[in-house]
Structure 1
Amino acid sequence: MKNHKSTAQHTWKGRPSETIQYWHQKVRCIENLSLHVITPGRKLGILGYAIDEGVRRNHGRVGAEDAPDAIRKSMGSMAYHLPENLEILDYGDITATESSLEELQTLTQQTISDILNSNHFPILLGGGHDLAFPHGMAALSYTASKNETLGIINLDAHFDLREPNNGQGHSGSPFLQILESAKTKNLHCKYFCLGIQRAANPSSLFETAKNTGSWWMESEDCTVENWETVKNNLDAFLSKVNRIYLSIDLDGFSSAYAPGVSAPSPMGFNPDFALKVLEYLAKSKKLLTMDVVELNPAYDIDHSTAKLAARCIEFTLRKLWD
C-alpha cells in the first residue's frame, strides 16, 4: 500500500527463550492494514508514524521519522508481563513518500479508527507531535459514536496550541486543530497539558489555552512531592470525561533523561513523576489510546530516550492489565 511499510519481524529481537519471556516473542508483524481479518478478542495494535514533516514545518530539528523502529528495538528485549493470551500485532508504519502531510494524516486517522473499532488498544509510535491531530480526531470520532466525552492528557513542555502556518498544520498545532474541529462539529472534547515550561511558551499561547478552555500545570509543579495537587487536578479533569487519549511528548522530560528529542530542555519533569501519572491514568479505567512522540534517534545517547519511550509504554500497559 502507498505510504505504508510493514515491520520486518527481525526488528523485534531480544534474548532467546523456550517459553514466552520477552516482548519480541509475543509481537506478530502484519503485512497490511486489513484489520478486519484479524481474529476477535482484545488485542494491542502497534502503529508507527514515521513522519517528521510536521517538525520541519514547526522549525524543529528533524529525525523523528526514524523513531518507530528505534522504540521497537528497545521494546523487543523487555521482559513480558502482560496476559499470555493477549495478541500484540504490529501494523507497521505510515511513511512519507510524495504525499502531503495532510494526506498522510488522513490515512493515519482512518487506520487508527480501524484499530479502535476492531477491539485493539492502540499504541502509536511517533514521529512528530503532528501525529496527535489524526490520533485525536480518530479518538474523538470513536467516543462521539458512543455519546462519550473525550479527554486528552498531554505530558509535554509545550501547549502545541499554535496556529497552523498558512493553513498547514505542524507539530506545534495539533491540539488547537482538534479543539477547533470538535467545536465545529459540536463534539465533546477537553484538553489537559502537564509539564508546561514558560520559557518554551509565549504569553499568546497561554491566552489561547484560556480561550479554548484548556487545562494545564507548569513543569515546576509536576513533581512527585506535589502529587496530591496533581492528583486532585487529574481527578477533577477525569470527572468531566469518559475516555482518555494519552499523549507522551518525550521533550517534556528533562534532557538528562531524554536527550534524543526534537526540542530538548534541561528543565523538564523526571520519569518518577511521569510514571505516577501513567499509573493513575491506567488504573482510572478510562484510558482509550496512547502515543509516544518526538523521539529523535540521531541525537539520542546510548538509546536512553528510546528506552524511556519503551518503558513508558510497557509500564502503562502493565498497569492497565493489573
Structure 2
Amino acid sequence: MSTASDSTSAMSHHLQFATALSESEARTVLFGANTRGAGFSESARGKAGEAGELRTLFTADFVRTADNESPSLTERLEDGAPLFDAGNLPLEGLSLEAQVAAVRERFLGLLRRGQRAVCLGGDHLIKYAALSAISAVHDDCGVVYLDAHPDCTQDEALYFGSILHHAWQLPHIRPERTSLLALRQVNPRERGGLQHWRPGIIPALDFCERGLPAVVESLVAQLGPVKRVYVSVDLDGLAPHEVPAVEAPYPGGPTLREVLVVLRALASRYELVGMDVSEFIPEFDPLKLTALATARLVKEFARLLP
C-alpha cells in the first residue's frame, strides 16, 4: 500500500506547460505555498479536527503531476512560453505569521518587477498574504474574489472566515473596489460583515439569470475606475461537480468555462496583476478532476493578454 509520503515523492515539482527559460524572462511566475493555519470549515468534510489531518500532500505538486500526465495547450492552442514555474516556498514548520510573511515577500518581489504572480495554496492564508502585498505595491487595484462564501466575519483572529475583514483594513484594499463573485452561502455573522463593509456582490444565480455579459458589466461597475485587478479563487466558488475536492463544496456555482470567459473579459479591460488558488484537498481527488481544472485555470490565466 502506498503512503502519502510515497505519493509526494513521486510527484512533479515543475509544470511542464511552463516553458519560460528563467523567472526573470517570464511574464507570469507560478509558485506553490502550502500554507496551513487558517483553520477548517465545520461544514466541509466532518469536524475541523478530522479535516486538520488532511493536506498531507503538497497541493501544487498534485496539480503539476496531474497536468503533466495529460499535457495540453490552452483552448486557443497556446503554449506556456510566458510562464515560469518557480517551485514551492519552504513553509513547513513555520508559524502562521511566518507563513504569511514568506508568501507576502514572494508576491512583493514579483509585483515590484512588474510580473504576474500565481500562487497555488494552501489555505486562505495565501489570500491575505497576497492582498497585503498588493496593498503595498498598488494603490489602484481592484479585487475579484471568487468564492461561495464572503470570508468577512468581523473577528480579531485571522482565519478562513475573516480574511477579507482583515484585508479591507489594509491601506489600499477597499471593499468598494472588491467584487465577491459567485457568492451563495452566507451565515448570520458573515451577513453582519457584509452589511458593515458593503463590498460589491455578484450572486451565483446571476450567471444563469442575467448571463455572462451582465455579470461582466456588474463586475466592471463594482470595481470602479481602477487600472489593475487581482483575482483570488477559492475553488469552492466553482460548481462542485467540476471541482469536487474542496474543503467546503456548495451547490450552484459557475462552471470553469464561465469563469474563464469572465477572466478573458477582465483581461481586455484591466491589467491582471496576479491570482491565487486555494482550498484544494488532493486526498479527495482520486480522479484528479479538481487538479486538472486548477491546472487549466492557471494555464489559461497565464496566457491572458492585457
Q: Using structure 1 for the length normalisation, give the TM-score.
A: 0.78
Measured after TM superposition, the shift of residue 9 of structure 1 is: 10
Residue 163 in structure 1 maps to residue 150 in structure 2: no
What is aligned with 1:17? Answer: none
- Are the aligned partners of 1:133 and 1:174 in contact in 2 as well (CA < 8 Å)? yes
Measured after TM superposition, the shift of residue 271 of structure 1 is: 2.0
Q: Cα distance 1:121–1:210, how it changes in 2: closer, same or farther (>3 A)?
A: same
- Are the aligned partners of 2:35 and 2:121 in contact in 1 as well (CA < 8 Å)? yes
Residue 23 in structure 1 maps to residue 41 in structure 2: no
What is aligned with 1:103? Answer: 98
Q: Distance in 1 between matches of 2:251 and 2:79?
A: 37
What is aligned with 2:63? Answer: 71
Measured after TM superposition, the shift of residue 243 of structure 1 is: 1.2
- Once the two structures are superposed, residues 255-309 of structure 1 have per-residue CA deviations (whole angstroms, 9 ceiling, x without a partner) of 2111101111233222232122111112223211111111111111410001111
What is aligned with 1:295? Answer: 280
* Sequence identity percentage: 22
Measured after TM superposition, the shift of residue 108 of structure 1 is: 1.0
Q: Distance in 1 between matches of 2:67 and 2:162?
A: 29
What is aligned with 1:196? Answer: 183
Residue 45 in structure 1 maps to residue 34 in structure 2: no
Please, what is the CA RMSD of the aligned residues? Answer: 2.8
Larger mean CA deviation between 228-237 and 132-141 belongs to 228-237
Within 5 Å, which residues of 2 pair with 1:105-120?
105-120=100-115
Q: Cα distance 1:221–1:118, how it changes in 2: closer, same or farther (>3 A)?
A: same
Higher helix share: 1
Q: Distance in 2 between matches of 1:312 and 1:227?
A: 18
Measured after TM superposition, the shift of residue 57 of structure 1 is: 8.1
What is aligned with 1:181? Answer: 170
1:45 match: secondary structure: strand
Q: Distance in 1 between matches of 2:118 and 2:222?
A: 23
Aligned length: 284
5+ unaligned residues in a row in structure 2: which ranges? 1-8, 43-47
2:159 match: secondary structure: coil
What is aligned with 1:267? Answer: 252
2:168 match: secondary structure: helix
Which amino acid is 2:160 matched to?
A: S
Q: Using structure 2 for the length normalisation, give the TM-score.
A: 0.82
Q: Cα distance 1:220–1:245, how it changes in 2: closer, same or farther (>3 A)?
A: same
Larger mean CA deviation between 93-102 and 52-61 belongs to 52-61
Measured after TM superposition, the shift of residue 67 of structure 1 is: 1.2
2:170 match: secondary structure: helix
Which amino acid is 1:171 matched to?
A: F
Measured after TM superposition, the shift of residue 178 of structure 1 is: 0.8
Residue 286 in structure 1 maps to residue 288 in structure 2: no
Measured after TM superposition, the shift of residue 8 of structure 1 is: 10
- Once the two structures are superposed, residues 158-205 of structure 1 have per-residue CA deviations (whole angstroms, 9 ceiling, x without a partner) of 0011234xx4311222111110123xxxx35322111111xx311332
- Are the aligned partners of 1:223 and 1:273 in contact in 2 as well (CA < 8 Å)? no
